[in-house]
Amino acid sequence: MKLYGAAYSRAGRCIWMLEEIGQPYDHVGTSPRGETRTPQMLKLNPNGHVPVLDDNGYVIWESLAINQYLAEKTGILWPAGAQAHGQIAQWSLWAMTEVEPHLVTMLMHMMFLPEAQRSPAAIEQAKAALGKPMQVLDQHLAGRAYLLGTDFNVGDLNVCSVLGLAAMLHYDFSPFASVGGWLGRCNGRPAAQRFQKIAQEAMAKMG
């Protein structure tokens, strides 16, 4: 099992999952800044992105799909039943389509765009837009420990890892108390803590 992608990139989501599984894996810290479009990497993922997982010749990309594959393959964080699987896909796709685009806008205008192109208005707009899906999540989590009820599963891991970007951008979760409590439970898991340490070390090496 080999995972490509620097731990501070979206590959971190899969490192968290691999740490939950607890079996040995190879990690290649392919940098998203210029190493994802080599002929060898494009052969693995023609999109030129990381993460990519190579499971003994079976290659899969898209961070949250990789996690779902790993959960189904190992049975870890993978509850039984079509309805549970439907809910896991629902929340994972929701995180990717309803949440992540606003976070990417914030990231671009707060950190990545050249100073002259950054727009405080775009940041405020994205923050306001993010409040809507956060309200949906907050209402859903009221009275529930995790997305599907009492147990943490790969759906929680996927959604929480997408929201990791919000924490990095110091997004204020205080109006969403149920989300805040759930984030604490998910991020407090030993595997999540190990992943965060790996990501911090990778970030420090990057400088």
Ligand X SMILES: N[C@@H](CCC(=O)N[C@@H](CS)C(=O)NCC(=O)O)C(=O)O
Q: Is 100 exposed, middle or buried (0-12, 13-18, 19+ CB in 10 A)?
A: buried
The full 3-state SS of 125-165, as one line of letters, equals: HHHHHHHHHHHHHHHHHCCCCECCECCCCHHHHHHHHHHHH
Per CB under 6 A, does 27 bind ligand X?
A: no
For the chain, the distance separating the N- and C-terminal CA atoms, rounded to the nearest angstrom, is: 28
Q: Does 68 bind ligand X (CB under 6 A)?
A: no
Token pair for 102: 């606003």
Number of residues that bind ligand X (CB under 6 A): 11
102 touching ligand X, by CB under 6 A: no
* CB of residue 86 to ligand X, shortest distance in Å: 20
Q: Which of 19, 20, 62, 138 binds ligand X (CB under 6 A)?
A: 62
Closer Cβ to ligand X, 29 or 51, answer by number: 51
In the chain, count of helices (H) and strands (E)?
9, 4
Contact 11, 4 (CB under 8 A): yes
Is residue 48 close enough to count as binding ligand X by CB under 6 A? yes
**Of residues 2, 32, 129, 168, which one binds ligand X by CB under 6 A?**
32
Distances in whole angstroms, Cα of residue 140 to Cα of each of 44, 59, 93, 103, 129: 37, 34, 16, 21, 18
What is the DSSP secondary structure assignment for residue 115, as one 8-state letter? G
Pick from 29, 51, 155, 164: which binds ligand X (CB under 6 A)?
Answer: 51
Q: Which is nearer to ligand X, 10 or 102 (CB)?
A: 10
Among 3, 15, 44, 50, binds ligand X (CB under 6 A): 50
- Select the span of 46-54, 69-77, 83-91, 146-154 touching ligand X (CB under 6 A): 46-54
Closer to ligand X by Cβ: residue 104 or 177: 104
